[in-house]
Chain A
Amino acid sequence: MWAIAKQTFKAAVRYRFVIAMAISLLIIVFGLPLMIKSDGTAKGMVQLVLTYTLGATTALLGISSLWMGCGTLAREIEDNVIQMVAVKPIARWQIWFGKWMGIMLLNAALLVPTGLTIYFLIESRSRSEELSQSEQDKLRNEVLVSRSEVNLPELDLTLNRSRAYNYCKLVLMGKSQYTPSEQALRMSVTNPEHILSLRGQDYVSLVEQAQKNPQLIKDVEELEHQAIQMYKGTTEVILPGQNYQWVFQIDTNKIDEINKRPIYLRYKFNAGDEYDPKSHLCTWTVGAGTGKHWPANEQPKQIKVGSSVFHELELNLEGGIVPNQEGPNHGRVVVNFFNLNEKPIIFLNKDGPSILYHDGGFGLNLFRGLLIIYFWLGLIAAIGLMASSFLAFPVAAFMSIGILLISASTGTLEQIVEEKGISGIDHETGRKLAPSALDDIAIVMAESILWVTNSVWDYSPVDNLSSGRTITWTSLFWAFIGIILFMSGLISAFGSLMFTRKELALPNPTASMN
Chain B
Amino acid sequence: MNSTETVISAQGLTKVFKDFWGRPKARAVSGIDFEVKRGEVFGLLGPNGSGKSTTVKMLLGLLYPSKGRISVFGHSPRHVQTKSRLGYLPEESYLYRYLNSEETVDFFGSLFHIESKERRERAEQLIQMVGLENAKRRHVGEFSKGMQRRIGLAQALINDPDLVILDEPTSGLDPIGCREIKDLILTLAERGKTVILSSHLLSDVEDVCDRAMILYGGKVQAIGTMKELLSNRNATRITSPALSRETMDKVLTLIREDTKSQEVHVDNPTENLESLFLNIVEQAQQRESETSGATSGHRVADYLRGDTSQNKSDRVLDHLTRNEDSTLTQIANTQSKPATIKEDKLADLSKTETDPAPTLKVTPKKGEDLDKANDKLSGLLGE
Contact = CB atoms under 8 A, between A and B. Distances in A.
A11 B84 contact: no
Contacts of A302: none
A89 B112 contact: yes
Nearest to B25: A511
Contacts of A83: 57, 60, 62, 90, 94
Interface stretch (B15-23, B34-42, B218-226, B272-280): B15-23
B86 interface: yes
Contacts of A511: 17-20, 25
Interface in A78-96: 79-81, 83-91
A217 interface: no
Contacts of B86: 87
A88 B111 CA distance: 6
Given A91-B80, A506-B17, A511-B18, A7 B96 contact: yes
Given A10-B99, A80-B92, A511-B25, A87 B61 contact: yes
Contacts of B25: 511
Nearest to B82: A89
Contact of A84 (B81, B84, B108, B112): B108
A79 B63 contact: no
A4 B108 CA distance: 10
B88 interface: yes
Contacts of A3: 107, 110-111
A88 B83 contact: yes
A90 B99 CA distance: 20
B43 to A, nearest CB: 20
A506 B64 CA distance: 10
Interface string A163-178: 0000000000000000
Question: In this complex, which of B17, B18, B62, B95 has the most chain A Cβ atoms within 10 angstroms of its Cβ?
Answer: B62
Contacts of B80: 89-91
Interface residues of A, number: 28
Interface in B64-107: 64, 66, 80-84, 86, 88, 90, 92, 94-96, 98-99, 103, 107
Given A87-B61, A510-B20, A514-B64, A11 B81 contact: no
A282 interface: no
B110 A503 contact: no
Nearest to B59: A87
A15 B155 contact: no
Given A7-B96, A89-B111, A511-B25, A84 B61 contact: no
A87 B20 contact: no
Contact of B60 (A11, A87, A507): A87
Contacts of A514: 63-64, 66
Interface string A1-25: 0011001001100110000000000
A90 B80 CA distance: 6
A510 B20 CA distance: 7
Contacts of A88: 83-84, 108, 111-112
Contacts of B108: 84, 88
A78 to B, nearest CB: 11
A4 B107 CA distance: 8
B62 A84 contact: no
A134 interface: no
A510 B111 CA distance: 28
Interface residues of B, number: 36
Interface in B1-49: 17-22, 25
B94 A512 contact: no
B155 to A, nearest CB: 7
A230 interface: no
Nearest to B56: A505
B98 A81 contact: no
Nearest to A13: B98
A429 to B, nearest CB: 49
A504 interface: yes
Nearest to B79: A89
B77 to A, nearest CB: 9
A17 to B, nearest CB: 11
A510 to B, nearest CB: 7
B95 A84 contact: yes
B117 to A, nearest CB: 16
B17 A81 contact: no
Nearest to B54: A505
Nearest to A90: B111
Question: In this complex, which of B66, B90, B96 has the most chain A Cβ atoms within 10 angstroms of its Cβ?
Answer: B96
Nearest to A3: B110
Given A3-B110, A88-B112, A81 B95 contact: yes
A459 B108 CA distance: 40
B107 A7 contact: yes
Contacts of B82: 89
Interface string B132-145: 00000000000000
Nearest to A79: B94
Contacts of B98: 10-11, 14-15
Contacts of A84: 88, 90, 94-95, 108, 155
Nearest to B28: A507
A88 B109 CA distance: 9
Interface string A77-121: 001110111111111000000000000000000000000000000
A80 B107 contact: no
A80 B94 contact: yes
Given A80-B92, A512-B18, A512-B19, A85 B111 contact: yes
A506 B86 CA distance: 21
Contacts of B60: 83, 86-87, 505
A505 B66 contact: no
B379 to A, nearest CB: 29
Contacts of B83: 87-90
A430 to B, nearest CB: 47
21 contacts: A7-B107, A10-B99, A79-B94, A81-B96, A83-B94, A84-B95, A84-B155, A86-B61, A87-B88, A88-B108, A89-B84, A89-B111, A89-B113, A90-B80, A505-B57, A505-B60, A505-B62, A506-B17, A511-B25, A512-B19, A512-B20
Which 10 A/B pairs are nearest by Cβ-Cβ distance?
A14-B98, A505-B62, A88-B111, A89-B84, A3-B110, A505-B57, A89-B83, A514-B64, A80-B94, A81-B94
Interface of B: 17-22, 25, 57, 60-64, 66, 80-84, 86, 88, 90, 92, 94-96, 98-99, 103, 107-108, 110-113, 155
Given A80-B92, A83-B60, A87-B62, 16 more contacts: A7-B99, A10-B99, A80-B90, A81-B96, A83-B57, A84-B94, A84-B108, A86-B62, A88-B84, A88-B112, A89-B82, A89-B83, A89-B112, A90-B83, A511-B20, A514-B63
Interface of A: 3-4, 7, 10-11, 14-15, 79-81, 83-91, 503-507, 510-512, 514
